[in-house]
Amino acid sequence: MKSLSGLRVLVTGGAGFLGSHLCERLIAQGHDVLCVDNFYTGTKANVQHLLGHPRFELMRHDVTFPLYVEVDRIYNLACPASPVHYQFDPVQTTKTSVHGAINMLGLAKRVKARILQASTSEVYGDPHVHPQTEGYWGHVNPIGIRSCYDEGKRCAETLFFDYHRQHQLDIKVARIFNTYGPRMHPNDGRVVSNFVVQALRGEDLTIYGDGSQTRSFCYVEDLVDGLMRLMESRDGFTGPVNLGNPGEFTIRELAEKVLAMVGGKAKLVFQPLPSDDPTQRQPDITVAKDELAWQPKMSLDEGLRPTIEYFEALLNGAEARQT
C-alpha cells in the first residue's frame, strides 16, 4: 500500500455537502483529489474555492455509468441524501445507490484501490433497538416512500461485502448519522437546514409530529474526520462503523435551540408526521472509539453557530442579487 501522502483520491458526490468538506481536507493532507459529481444536489459553489488548486480536479459524471480513471482511494458518497431530493426521482435514487456501487466497486477491483462506502443510519429503519449498534439488522419498510434510499443503501452494503468476500476487495463501510454544517442545501428538507432557514426568514418553524422524535446531530468536520480515519484504518477492518454524535435531542429541543440563537418572534407549528419517519435515532459509537480512536468533539450549540452564519450569508447574498 502506498504511503499516506500524495495518494490519488476519487470522491464521488464530491461537490455535495459532505463531499466538498472531504475534498478540502484531503487536499490539505497533500493528496490529489478527483471530485466527481453530476450536480443533481451538489453545486459548483461548494468547491469553487478549490477549482484553481493544482491538486484538485472536477469532473461532471453520473456514477450510474462506468468511470475509467486511475486512483488509489475511492470515497463513494454519490447519492441524494435528503427525503425531498431522493423521493423526487426514487428510481434514479435506487440506481445511484446500486448501479453506482457496482460501477465504483468494479473500478476499485480493476485498479486495486481501497474503497469506502458512505452508507447511512437509515439502514436501521425505524429501529426496535436503541441506541443502534452495527450488529442490529434494522426494521425497514421495503415498499414505502423512503425505501428507494433505505433499501438502496442496504443493497449497496450487500454489494460491498460480496465484492470483499468474492474478490478480496479492500472495503470500508461507514453508517452516517444526521450530519449538519455549512454548505448544507437550504432546500433539502432536513431538519437543521429547515429550522435555521425558517428562523432567519422570520417564519414559523415546522415540526412534523409532536416533536418528541429524537435525532443525533454530528458536525460536518467531525464526521469527515471519522470518514478519513476509517479509510486509513487497519488492514482487514471493513466495518460497518456508525459515525455520528451519540448526543440525543428531540426535534422540539433542536427547534428551541435554533430559535434562541437566531432570535425573533417565530413560533413552533405542528404538522402530521411523514410516512415511515423514524421515531428514534442515536448511534452506538463503541466500534468507532475502539477501532478509529474517534468520537465527535463539537457540541450542538457550538456547531449551530457557524451553520447559522453560513445560511445567513447565503440568504443575504440571494436577497442582494434580487435587488
Instruction: State the catalytic residues.
Output: 149
Provide the residue type at 321 as one letter.
Answer: R
User: DSSP string covering 148-197, please?
Assistant: HHHHHHHHHHHHHHHHHHHH---EEEEEE--EE-TT--TTS--HHHHHHH
CB neighbour list of residue 2: distance below 8 Å, 6 or more residues apart: 72
Contact status, residue 134 vs residue 241, Cβ threshold 8 Å: yes
Closest CA to 18 of 96, 111, 109, 117: 117
Q: How far apart are CA 135 and CA 242, in angstroms?
A: 10
Contact status, residue 277 vs residue 210, Cβ threshold 8 Å: no
Q: Cα 316 to the chain's mean position, in Å?
A: 26
Q: How far apart are CA 144 and CA 90, in angstroms?
A: 11
Contact status, residue 244 vs residue 214, Cβ threshold 8 Å: no
Contact status, residue 125 vs residue 278, Cβ threshold 8 Å: yes
Provide the residue type at 120 as one letter.
Answer: T
Q: Mark 187-221 as b/e (b = at least 16 C-beta within 10 Å).
A: ebebbbbbbbbbbbeeeebebeeebebbbbbbbbb
Asked if residue 246 has a cis previous peptide bond (ω within 30° of 0), the answer is no
